Chain A
Amino acid sequence: MLKYILKRVAAAVLTLIIILSVVFILVRQMPIEGYFDNFDKLDKAVIDARLQQMGLRDPIFTQMKNFFGALLRGDLGTSARYSVGASISDIIVKKAPISIRMGVLSMALSLGLGIPLGGAMARSKSKLWDKFGTVFIVLVNAVPAAVYYIFLQAYGSNALGISMLFEESNPVSWILPVFSMSLGSIAYYAMWLRRYMLDEMNKDYVKLARAKGVKNSTVTMQHVFRNAFVPMIQYIPSTLLFTISGSIYIESLYSIPGMGGLLVDVISRQDNPMVQALVMIYSCIGIIGMLLGDVLMVLIDPRISFARKAEVR
């Protein structure tokens, strides 16, 4: 098992290096305006000197070597347009806590609502809860998140009588962003839990338990739910992944001063070093999420075997 985990971590690190290099090389292809806050007013000599100073005229491999070196020291470079000359790590350290808080809250909410919904759907197959849940899942999955977020913001803030924008000190204004952020995951959890529970209910051991006279609720809780929940564990870190994409959207929609809103900001201002740093951070979160999912799965489910099956070739 340890060998598998080590291998998985190694694969993740390799992926990370590949992605960081690709991001780095791609951002180098951007126009150089993105490194200056007042490009139009500078003359050519100054631009050249500044580019030289930033090391952007070096061969790409030297640049990459310097970049990875700086990365290991925790230095992400400095912002060029968004907040001129400020260290990117400082900006992000200031912005990250709020994103993390929102992410954790929305994850708690999506687990707290999605799992009961999935369970209720599985238990009342083709009845009220199942129908309601199916409609909910179809809508959330099929209608682009961008669209229902907008309506949720407009009509939700109207109905609750609160401002459309986020205020950190006002906990009521947290409700809508956190709820919107968790909608996708609620649907995701409900859908898969229902499917796994239905699969599990048709298995022989459940029929045996019923035949033995075990109470229905005990069968559902002790056998069906427990077994159905195991494959779900893999999704929990990828919920984190999902809230990344959700939070980019929601943070800028509600003007939440977090990392996702920051990404939209720096993209519209074409701040190359900041875009590069944020994209890298998001890919790291994504990769770590997947890695944790796989590792958790291995740790929890004893049925996964690591002996390579003799392959028939």
Chain B
Amino acid sequence: MKRISDQLAQRAEISAEKQLRSVPEDQLFDYAPRSEAAAERTGYSNYSYWGSTFRMFGKKRIALALLVVLVVLVTFTFIQPYLPGQYPATKIINHPITGKQMSNIGPATTTEIATAPEGTGLVVTPWQDEEWLAVSNVLATIPARKAITVTEHLDQWVKVDVDGKSGYVRNDFTTKLKMPDDPQNVPYESRSNFAIKLFSTPMDYTQGGNELFVRRDDVRVSGDGLTATTVRNASLRLLPTEAPFLFGTNNAGQDLWGMVWSGTRTSLFIGFVVALIEAAVGILVGVIWGYVRKVDRVMTEIYNVINNIPTTIVLILIAYVLRPGIFSLIFAMTLTGWVSMARFIRNQIVIIRDRDYNMASRCLGTGTLRIITRNLLPYLVSVIMLRMALAIPGAIGSEVFITYIGLGLPLSIPSLGNLITVGRKFVSTPQSYQLLFPTIVLSIVTVSFYIIGNSFADAADPRNHV
């Protein structure tokens, strides 16, 4: 006997069926989208090694951020010389008037020393080119003990008349003007025991005697060519250029900004070439060592000998014997560097060369070269890349070390190593920026490579994949 609930359920089913039949067939079914989770539950996997590697790498925020930083930095290093307003890296910048080197100018984002408001009177000094005019706001130098008439008292400055000229004179300990009891009660006579400067404005734009440069468009030169008046707010500049010394200049008067990027280029070049050579030689030797059984014993002995030699000593000795230069440094660094790579490749090849798929491949008549390039090496790409990524900071560090002990690149080829070695002398002086900027760039480059390399290695390790 049927229970009532069953009858109810049956009735409900029938009505549901009726409802479904009334729906057109093409609306009955939906395409199920692919779902990773569902696929995994059924055991299906479209696992792709590189896909997983990049997914894992993408999860590491810091490494990803550093990768972006590094790409931007490396790109910038290479386009920097072609940007407008750059000083050539090793060019010694001389002052156009005095001819002196522009040494140890602090870092700044502009060459502007001061802004002169519209209508400022300036004295033209005899130097000019098509665009720029050398000026000064020092109208004259008043000899010591000459009487001057003070017409206005402005606390730090006083407005004076002397020899028919009107201008401003500093009123502080440098001039020690003789003042009456009530200095506000103008006019009165005054004098100084020193030679003093008469300025056109109550401000010393020259900051103690610098020459100033102003754009021709910004001033109107008087008929006799001796004075000029600004026609708008004019920038008074240190040099007849708008290109600033962003990182300052060094002791020799070279632009540190240009030097640092040029040095980064050199150091990166050394790093990349060392990494490439180590990889190329290491892979070649490692593959032969691992694949050809006859050479294994000999190669192992050679490896033991080379691996026993302290790397630092090789570096020092080769750099000492060869003339210093980029290529002798690269040679010294790669001389022993390839060994560990070769050893690593050899170990991996020995592990995978006799796997079944390689046996099968060999039985089918695949050539040795094809087995190596198609069956073996793709397994090792991730690790080779890791080794290369770590070789770059290593090489850059070695360059710094070898330069420090006096065997590095000459100063005519800027590198991060010789910039740091030079900057080291300024470490506890106001010029410490000469050490700081190369160091910061160097640290960003090496730390980025190190972290990216390690994160990539973690990501490329199949054990970390799902």
Contact = CB atoms under 8 A, between A and B. Distances in A.
Interface of A: 11-12, 14-15, 18-19, 23, 26-27, 29-30, 138-139, 141-147, 150-151, 153-154, 158, 164, 241, 244-245, 248-249, 252, 263-264, 267-268, 275, 279, 282-283, 285-287, 290, 312-313
Interface stretch (B14-22, B208-216, B443-451): B443-451
B152 to A, nearest CB: 48
B404 A146 contact: yes
Nearest to A289: B310
B401 A142 contact: no
A283 B310 contact: yes
Contacts of A290: 307-308
Contacts of B304: 11, 15
Given A150-B424, A283-B309, A145 B317 contact: no
Given A14-B305, A147-B400, A313-B293, 4 more contacts: A142-B443, A153-B427, A245-B312, A286-B309
Contacts of A154: 427-428
Contacts of B318: 26
Nearest to B397: A144
Interface of B: 293, 301, 304-305, 307-310, 312-313, 316-318, 320-321, 354, 393, 396-397, 400-401, 404-407, 417, 420, 424, 427-428, 435, 439, 442-443, 446-447, 449-451
Contact of B321 (A30, A143, A268, A283): A30
A12 B447 contact: no
Contact of A144 (B313, B428, B442): B442
Given A26-B321, A275-B320, A279-B317, A147 B309 contact: no
A143 B305 contact: no
A19 B316 CA distance: 14
Contact of B446 (A12, A142, A252): A142
A147 B442 contact: yes
Contact of A143 (B313, B427, B447): B447
A282 B450 contact: no
Contact of A147 (B316, B321, B406, B439): B439
A15 B321 contact: no
A154 B396 CA distance: 22
Contacts, number: 112
8 contacts: A26-B317, A147-B442, A164-B428, A263-B405, A267-B405, A275-B320, A282-B313, A283-B313
Nearest to A18: B305
Given A138-B451, A158-B428, A15 B305 contact: yes
Centre residue among B308, B316, B354, B446 by max chain A CB count within 10 A:
B308
Contacts of B449: 142
Name the prevailing secondary structure of the A interface residues.
Answer: helix
CB-CB nearest 4 A-B residue pairs: A286-B310, A144-B397, A142-B450, A245-B312
A198 B105 CA distance: 52
Contacts of B397: 144-146
A286 B443 CA distance: 29
B396 A144 contact: yes
A15 B309 CA distance: 8
A153 to B, nearest CB: 8
A241 B307 CA distance: 13
A143 B312 CA distance: 17
Contacts of A282: 310, 312-313
Contact of B316 (A12, A263, A313): A263
Given A18-B305, A138-B447, A248 B400 contact: no
Contacts of A286: 308-310, 313
A146 B320 contact: no
A241 B309 CA distance: 11
A305 B404 CA distance: 44
Interface centre among B307, B313, B401, B417 (most CB of A within 10 A): B313
A93 to B, nearest CB: 21
A14 B307 CA distance: 13
Contacts of A283: 309-310, 313
B447 A142 contact: yes
A268 B447 CA distance: 31
Contacts of B305: 11, 14-15, 18
A139 B316 CA distance: 25
A248 B446 contact: no
Contacts of A15: 304-305, 308-309
B401 A279 contact: no
Contacts of B293: 313
B446 A143 contact: yes
Contacts of A252: 405
B401 A249 contact: yes
Nearest to B399: A144
B332 to A, nearest CB: 11
Nearest to B440: A147
Contact of A267 (B406, B417, B420): B406
Contacts of A18: 305
A73 B454 CA distance: 49
B258 to A, nearest CB: 21
Contacts of A275: 320
Contacts of A164: 428
Contacts of A244: 310, 312
